[in-house]
Structure 1
């Protein structure tokens, strides 16, 4: 049986090696979460490998137990190693975690498929849609890895990487259509500062993680324009309504939107100065161009990359998303941020109950 055609595997048949594909702030932090969870459970540290694109990052993680580019001053567990060899990293892994920008995922999947263990679970930390196809990461993995739904999971929630790396408490959601797979991941991530909950609403969790970045851009622009908390709270609330409409149109569950992956992540991303998407929006509101904001960030703001796909997906499903539409126009350069205030809440007057 090939790696792609195997269905849900018994956890006992799954290798204990854990791999994180991506050495940015969240990928590196998640590798730390995996190591700290093992220590908290009192089990021997599993083999945990981080794949890094840049050799200097891989060397620093392995030799110095640091990733100063993305997690300054955070000491990483000594059981973590890193490599630039994706094939070597994935070979023999029971869990392959995707922690790279959404637009880069498809290009890495053929190499992953060639070395993916038949029992492995693929876990997405990615909060974006692929431009051109509007594909969620679950759809990409099903297509490119021939991966059954029971071997895919997604993690999303109010999970700002630096806070978690510092050991500050947070909760998250692990979603998989196979509850056993979600529980297996939850067990390997639970620890003194990281509390995973499980559900089966993969679509809802993915859409929450994608659209909240777009709404955070809008909140950041409000901040950059000098608008107050009333404006930002209004955008957050109506942004949640937009997210709900899109998620439910795709089969997501309303309860997910009210939980950690929905409201929780939206609040964290829109409120925190650590949020890349809110920061990017603030730069835009202060008058920087998209290129200038991107250069100053030095990391990917998924909201700017995915907003066109979000809008395209919404249009195809007949879903009204005025805030996302406005953000798409700003990123495309067809709308000036100074004219934005009248468009952020620009729907026909109606009862709030009619979302």
Structure 2
């Protein structure tokens, strides 16, 4: 009979010991983690249903990973996992946005939530869970970046244009109002500021896009080699100099020139050939036109974006409100708009929407306060 003593059972881990008799603080913390994991899994699942292709598949697998984390906390809590914990207000807001808005802003907020995961410092979370959360942040960052790039054109221009109109016009009417001018004069000044700023933005955008297009047209190589190659002096080989001027090294330029002159009928080295066929340049030109847009379209967009922001400070005066009441209402309306544009900029840049919103508010109110003080000084000096 084998009398070899059996190996002692493995010692339970610290997390297992704590799970046997968790304290109230542990239960409260674990239930919070459980609520977050449930909410995140449902969020990623809803986002996957609104997405397509590779992005949808990635989000669905993210939801499955959050489900594994949820199972860990359910096991730790045991009977304390019931009833199911309520999601946090932030989770409710994210799910609402996921149902009714695009995925870009939701993913930007989810990125920040993943980045605040406490699992790396919590001994009750496994190392694998902490590693998962770190990787999840990068996955969501990549997905959010793709969305930001799609919005980074006209949408970003709209936000910044509206913000410029807000700050410049509220500063103008605060200065005019503080100088003692009548409400009618403040309104006329605000309308003049709106038109002047919007026209300036539109004209600047028109010149910028037109100049950039002209620069590209001047820099794009022509297809002259297709028409004049048969008449070139082979010995002088001006064609080789052309290809060297376009950036090719000496051997590649010589090879391409000989190809043009017909030295290679079929099996030339394609790696040394220069892409200068008409269809390739036409495709490239088309891509540049899409990226730049039209000069008139850019000018009209800039005009409208600036005007949409600049009209907000003068709305109370347009409604017939006068004196300090109009100024207060104008500041409140501008403040709400600045918080909104700042939050959007924060989301697009991956920063805190709240912090960026308040920063934008301070900048706008700072400009308005400075011109208000200058208006008071001007009013006193001319009294």
Q: Normalising by structure 2, what TM-score?
A: 0.29
Q: Normalising by structure 1, what TM-score?
A: 0.31
Between Structure 1 and Structure 2, whose CA radius of gyration is higher?
2
Which structure carries more helix by proportion? 2
Name the structure, 1 or 2, with higher relative contact order (CA <8 Å, separation 6+): 2
